[in-house]
Amino acid sequence: MSTKKDTTDTSLEEFSEKKKRPESKYNASILRECIKEGLDAKSIMERIGLANKPTLKHYVLRLISDDRTFYDVKGLYLKSSSRPYINKKGVVCFNIHKVDLGELELKEGDEFVITAEDGLLYPTPEELFVPKRVTTHRTRHSSR
């Protein structure tokens, strides 16, 4: 006859130890203090140690529910998909469908030359880019 394996509580404990959820960083008093100081979403995330906005949104909604008071956090509900940004890898990203390009037509794979003047960035499609001419004066050195 075959013998059954003993499935006691120890095997369940071992399973639950492997699948533990990370401890929540929710702290109502610190979050409330940050909001009352007028900190924006990014500053609050840094102070609490959060990596993403959805978690902060969840915490703020939980605080609103607990306190039965509305809290408004600057920058938490801004939709940034229409605004250009620089990602963690240092790449400038923007959605061309959300930017008024006028008559300029762009397609996948187009490359740009970016120039900086007076603190502003100017992306120019490579085929339209005309480099500034730098004038150099040549002087003749006469050999005697």
**Per-domain residue ranges of the chain:** 24-78, 82-128
**Residue 51 DSSP label:** S
pTM of the model: 0.47
The pLDDT score that the predictor gives to residue 12 is 54
For residue 104, count CB atoms less than 10 angstroms from its CB and return exposed for 0-12, middle for 13-18, buried for 19 or more.
exposed
**Average pLDDT of the chain to the nearest whole number:** 78
Interval 3-21: pLDDT, tens: 655 555 555 555 555 667 7
Q: Comparing C-alpha atoms, which of 123, 30, 17, 102 is closest to residue 9?
A: 17
Phi, psi (deg, nearest 5) at residue 24 = -70, 145
pLDDT > 60? residue 137: no
Give the number of other Cβ atoms within 10 Å of residue 60's Cβ: 20
Residue 105 tokens, joined: 């037509």
